[in-house]
Amino acid sequence: QAVVTQEPSLTVSPGGTVTLTCGSSTGAVTSNHYPYWVQQKPGQAPRTLIYDTRNKHSWTPARFSGSLLGGKAALTLSGAQPEDEAEYYCLLSYDGPRVFGGGTKLTVL
Amino acid sequence: EVQLVESGGGVVRPGGSLRLSCAASGFIFEDYEMSWVRQTPGKGLEWVSVINWNGDSTAYADSVKGRFTISRDNANNSVYLQMNSLRAEDTALYYCAKEGGYWGQGMLVTVSS
């Protein structure tokens, strides 16, 4: 199965902007991989922020956005808040099987 | 409101079997694919399996292929995960998930002698 890669950790200052990326061992990530971005805080169930590249849920803060960037899926956080400190996972679809990335631990400091 | 409620978890010995259920409500169940995802405590998320809207297409992670079977009952708005030949490394919190990114609260499965 494919391997999905994410930055292990990133740090952003409060109010700052950060971009998390999600790459695939099979080549460029496209909309046909239907990228998801999932946020998880300690002790909580996962919560999907973005699905199908850029679609948001009603609970997704406006400061989060999804896109494709340089052959990868990307999650951009503009105006980071302390409550955004969490683990972020991307999920890619491979015409049947799905694969999660290893997650990015985002610190807001 | 979308609700997904898992049940059927517990402690099982290596080599044993367990069947997880997920009861869905708040949406037209038969219109959506459903998945199972698991997470070992302190580790990342691992996608396990997916089933399409009518059950005639499924996919599995390599780690569970041949041992786990996903199924659904659209009449009862439920999706299932039959887990056979369980191993210690299958110990995890198992989440039911709906297409579009809705999640249940998870059900713990412990494989231990």
Per-residue model confidence as pLDDT tens digits over A54-100:
999 999 999 999 999 999 999 999 999 999 999 999 999 999 999 99
What is the C-alpha separation between A96 and A79, in angstroms, rounded?
A: 36
Contact B103/A at CB under 8 A: yes
Contact B23/A at CB under 8 A: no
pLDDT at B80: 98
pLDDT at A88: 98
Task: Encode chain B (113 residues) as per-residue pLDDT tens digits.
Answer: 999 999 999 999 999 999 999 999 999 999 999 999 999 988 999 999 999 999 999 999 999 999 999 999 999 999 999 999 999 999 999 999 999 989 999 999 999 99
Q: Positive or negative CA dihedral for B53, B76, B102, B67?
A: negative
Inter-chain residue contact B62 with A48, CB threshold 8 Å: no
What is the C-alpha separation between A107 and A60, in angstroms, rounded?
A: 19
What is the C-alpha separation between B60 and B14, in angstroms, rounded?
A: 21
**Which runs of consecutive H residues, i.e. helices, occur in A10-102?**
none
pLDDT at A27: 97
pLDDT at A46: 96
Extract the tokens encoding A109. Answer: 């400091």
Inter-chain residue contact B106 with A45, CB threshold 8 Å: yes
A87 contacts in B (CB within 8 Å)?
Answer: 44
Question: From A60, which residue of chain B is nearest by alpha-carbon distance?
Answer: B101
Does residue A1 surpass a pLDDT of 90? no
What is the C-alpha separation between B104 and B29, in angstroms, rounded?
A: 14
Extract the tokens encoding A86. Answer: 């969490």
78-107 in chain A: CB under 8 A from chain B? 87, 89, 91, 96-103
Contact by Cβ (8 Å): A87, A102 = no
Q: Positive or negative CA dihedral for A26, A30, A31, A37?
A: positive
Contact by Cβ (8 Å): A34, A92 = yes
Q: Min CA distance, A83 vs chain B (Å)?
A: 20
Of B45, B57, B59, the CB nearest to A46: B45
Inter-chain residue contact A47 with B103, CB threshold 8 Å: yes
Residue keyed to tokens 């299958």: B90
Rg (CA), chain A: 13
pLDDT at B41: 87
Give per-residue pLDDT as tens, B22-41: 999 999 999 999 999 999 98
pLDDT at B32: 96
Task: Count chain A–chain B contacts defined by CB atoms under 8 A.
Answer: 51
What is the C-alpha separation between B68 and B80, in angstroms, rounded?
A: 10
